Amino acid sequence: MDLNNRYIRQIILPGFGIAAQEKLGKAKVLIVGMGGLGCPVLQYLVGVGVGTIGIMDADKITKSNLHRQLLYEEKEVGRLKVEAAAIKAKAQNSSVNIIEYPFELSKNNAAEIIKVYDLVIDATDNFSAKYLINDVCVWLQKPVVFGAVSGYEGQVAVFNFSSDAKPPIHYRHLFPVQPAANEFATCEETGVIGVLPGIIGTMQAAEAIKLIADLGKPLNNRLLTYNFLAARWYEIEMNSSAEVPLIDEHFINTTNYQIVCDFTEADLEEIDIDEIDVSQFLDLKYDSNIFILDVRELHEYPTIDFSHAQIPMSVLKESIHLLPEKPIYVLCHQGIRSIYAAQLIKLHKKVEAYSLKGGLTAYFNRVSNE
């Protein structure tokens, strides 16, 4: 054995050996998303010697990426992520074949691209991509290493893979129906602690290595969640769901993967909503004749003590009857969901509804400077 072999420290592991290294060298892995999750996934798969790695992302590097996407540098702001990532990967390990896809995954290209890979790493940050990846991989019978982060929590799972008698679980067993617009908060709205994608992305790389090299027990049928603040991992067993449709080519072709609004009873865009600025809100905040509603999800930070109720946007529609018959001022993180919430309230409750412009981000920026 060549003791100067770059992979020697893993080859000498019990249960690994030359056989596992050869499997890694022959493997083809597609990473969809070269952001906070995709960066560490790429670095570790390149490091262990995965033979062919496809990297897909249409985005360019921005300054706000740099606190968590440590593969990139300030001087690369404005450059396509896949271009910068490919250069770094080839410099790290010239024997690895890197294939660049500087565009988004879509119904038109997903099957053609995914079919040539052994497994897919879902390192995306949006539901449209996650459902499309899942459905195409179910149809083509490809395993998916799932990852997601938001705020102070992250999740990892292996979908569409079975190493025992149980049928494989996939993403739709966990979330059968794609959420509608404004039912959820994005990382742009809730934020994410910089180190978290590194932790979760490294776990995704670990699961991919286990699948390729047939090592240990993969996270199939299990969802692993990490809480940064509590420094705790917890795991849930996932079971199949009767609500899951038959996923085949016809299902994919007839499914709209774009995030759409479920407010079908009216075109909410026709409902005008007045936005108030922070100065106006500060004058009104303690007015007993108004009602202040926080539509953030329950886990979102920071907490506030001046709202009269917190009803998350995801359950607002069925909770509107609980609101009082008085003007309602709606708050969220950045003033995006609050506009839609105010439109919904105005439509169903027939009361005046207003949105705080810029949300609580603008509010705390203002009060911290006073």
Query: Which sequence positions are flagged as catalytic?
Result: 187, 332
CB within 8 A of 177, min separation 6: which ones? 243
CB within 8 A of 317, min separation 6: which ones? 263, 344, 348
Q: How far apart are CA 68 and CA 75, in angstroms?
A: 16
Do 326 and 289 meet the contact criterion of CB atoms below 8 Å apart?
yes
Do 5 and 11 meet the contact criterion of CB atoms below 8 Å apart?
yes
Strands (E), 126-279: 144-150, 153-159, 222-227, 232-237, 274-276
Residue type, position 162, single letter: S
Cα dihedral 96→99→102→107 (10° resolution): -130
C-beta atoms surrounding 318 within 10 Å: 9
For the chain, count helices (H), then strands (E): 14, 13
Q: How far apart are CA 40 and CA 246, in angstroms?
A: 34
3-state secondary structure of 139: helix
CA distances from 234 to 33, 211, 213, 336 (A): 25, 21, 25, 32
**And the tokens for 131?**
């459902």
Report strand pairing: 119-122 vs 28-32: parallel
For the chain, the 3-state helix, strand and coil shares in percent, each to the nearest 5, are 35, 20, 45
